[in-house]
Structure 1
Amino acid sequence: MKNLFGAIEAGGTKFVCAVGSGPDDLTEVRFPTTTPQETLGKALAFFAPYKGQLKSIGIGSFGPVDLQRNSPTYGFVTSTPKPGWADTEFAGVFARLFDLPVGFDTDVNGAALGEQRWGAAQGLDNFIYITMGTGIGGGVVAGGKLIHGLVHPELGHMFVPKQPDDTFAGQCPYHGDKCFEGVAAGPAIGARWGTPAHELPADHPAWDLQARYVATALASLVCSFSPQRIILGGGVMGQAHMLNSVREKTVQVLNGYIQSPAILENINEYLVLPGLGDKAGILGAMVLAEQAFDNR
């Protein structure tokens, strides 16, 4: 009999809750992220019929979050700009109600674990998962383990140089047009051009500018972490024409400095889409649940 795990992919736009044991055994529900009381209430209600059956629950959450186990706010969403969610307890609510181990991490770290187990990072010890949608975030795996540290990586808020032809003031409430998310997340694209990103045609100049920003950020990550592969997820990268443009421009930005066949000859296998598609986050949360059960 398979172990049954609970999983939550808590995004700033939507929640995905699921029970199961892996990609081929998954029952899930999706609903919008509204207030903490309403959203967590819906998640608790989804898992309630499985009380006594679940071994553990894994949560991959939008952030910032507190991952320090000795902290009084461990398992909280902390300084998020999402209205109403700052300083919200999350993991402890589920641990107390269901009396189960709860694995807790960022949504992008969870997605990285999902890709490592079942997706495009299988067999790799050093890789980066990035998602570009409502926000931009990334999970970094080094030596087979997620990087945490002071808090957790915030790749969406690394600073990127402004493109010379871009006069947009930026969307990040903390950094304006200085950080990756401020100039390249979905809302930034929509605000810059006055049209939602998903409505812009493939030949719109927005996408050339977007690919330049993404390539600049990826080149910095290649030089900083030397990953074996970078996985690019999220709705922005769901544009069919984006991936090849990003690959081409990343090689141009690196300009021959990284002398590796992965960059010079096999860029199509180095910069890839998620092997799990839009299931990376929820399946990664299931890996977090498994880890919590194993470490109970």
Structure 2
Amino acid sequence: MKLAAIEAGGTKFVVAIGDEFGNIIKRDAFATTSPQETFEHVFEFFDGEEFEAMGIGTFGPIDLDPQSPTYGYITSTPKPNWGNVNFVGPLKERYQVPIAFDTDVNGAALGELYFGSAKGLDSCLYLTIGTGIGGGAIVEGKLVHGLLHPEMGHILLAKHQDET
């Protein structure tokens, strides 16, 4: 089974096609620029490829409520030009395959649970410091979302001050 994946970071996008065993068949990465330019790169990568489903992990905040009119959108992000961008809609229209959509850190937590350090466990926490600070959590095999999703990011870090 061939699967498509998008890891949409604040600095770069990573796109890939792989299989259900975690083997990567094809991969590319490019800078996160404007939504239009970035999606052109995404479409260029996936057009003409065959895959049965797509998984998306993205920076946020995002709307994860399937009943919401803005489901699949990046919402009030501080990333310039990306506020209120419909992420899932154009991909669903173009590829007509099942699409899973979640935060980039929840996607990374799932990767660790199935293929990485948390393999064989039913719960894990994934924390990252990159363009931002974020965390994804899985408890008893289920992603933790709460109202929308847990926002473990946006953590204020105090600069170290030498007290001598």
Normalising to structure 1: TM-score of the pair? Answer: 0.52
Instruction: Name which of 146, 149, 157 aligns with 1:183.
Output: 157
Alignment gaps of 5+ in structure 2: none
Counterpart in the other structure of 1:16: 14
Counterpart in the other structure of 1:246: none
Counterpart in the other structure of 1:30: 29
> How many angstroms apart in 1 are the aligned matches of 2:77 and 2:33?
14
Give the secondary structure class of the aligned counterpart of 1:67.
Answer: coil
Counterpart in the other structure of 1:113: 110
Deviations 1:148-173 (A, max 9, x none): 1211111123xxxxxxxxxxxxxxxx
| Aligned residue type for 1:11 | G
Give the secondary structure class of the aligned counterpart of 2:119.
Answer: coil
Deviations 1:173-225 (A, max 9, x none): xxxxxxx2x317xxxxxxx5xxxxxxxxxxxx79xxxxxxxxxxxxxxxxxxx
Equivalent residue runs for 1:149-188 within 5 Å:
149-157=146-154, 180=155, 182-183=156-157
Counterpart in the other structure of 2:5: 7
| Aligned residue type for 2:157 | V
Counterpart in the other structure of 1:58: 55
Give the secondary structure class of the aligned counterpart of 2:77.
Answer: coil
- When the two chains are superposed, the root-mean-square deviation of aligned CA atoms in Å is 1.7
> How many angstroms apart in 1 are the aligned matches of 2:124 and 2:18?
26
> How many angstroms apart in 2 are the aligned matches of 1:6 and 1:25?
10
Tell me how far 1:25 sits from its aligned partner. 3.2
| Aligned residue type for 2:66 | R
Counterpart in the other structure of 1:46: 45
Tell me how far 1:28 sits from its aligned partner. 0.4
Counterpart in the other structure of 1:70: 67
| Aligned residue type for 2:82 | W
Give the length in aligned residue pairs. 161
Alignment gaps of 5+ in structure 1: 158-179, 185-191, 193-204, 207-296
> How many angstroms apart in 2 are the aligned matches of 1:41 and 1:25?
22
State the structure with more CA Rg.
1
Is the 2:16–2:24 contact (alpha carbons within 8 Å) kept by the matching residues of 1? Answer: no
> How many angstroms apart in 2 are the aligned matches of 1:57 and 1:24?
15
Name which structure has the greater RCO, CA cutoff 8 Å, separation 6+.
1
Amino-acid identity (%): 51
| Aligned residue type for 1:8 | I
Of Structure 1 and Structure 2, which has the larger fraction of its residues in strand? 2
Equivalent residue runs for 1:116-155 within 5 Å:
116-155=113-152
> How many angstroms apart in 1 are the aligned matches of 2:76 and 2:58?
13
Instruction: Name which of 100, 105, 108 aligns with 1:103.
Output: 100
Task: Answer yes or no: is 1:91 the counterpart of 2:88.
Answer: yes
Tell me how far 1:24 sits from its aligned partner. 2.9
Give the secondary structure class of the aligned counterpart of 1:85.
Answer: coil
- After TM superposition, where is structure 1 displaced by more than 6 Å over at least 4 residues in a row? none
> How many angstroms apart in 2 are the aligned matches of 1:35 and 1:140?
29
Deviations 1:10-51 (A, max 9, x none): 00000000011143333100000000000011101110020x
Normalising to structure 2: TM-score of the pair? Answer: 0.92
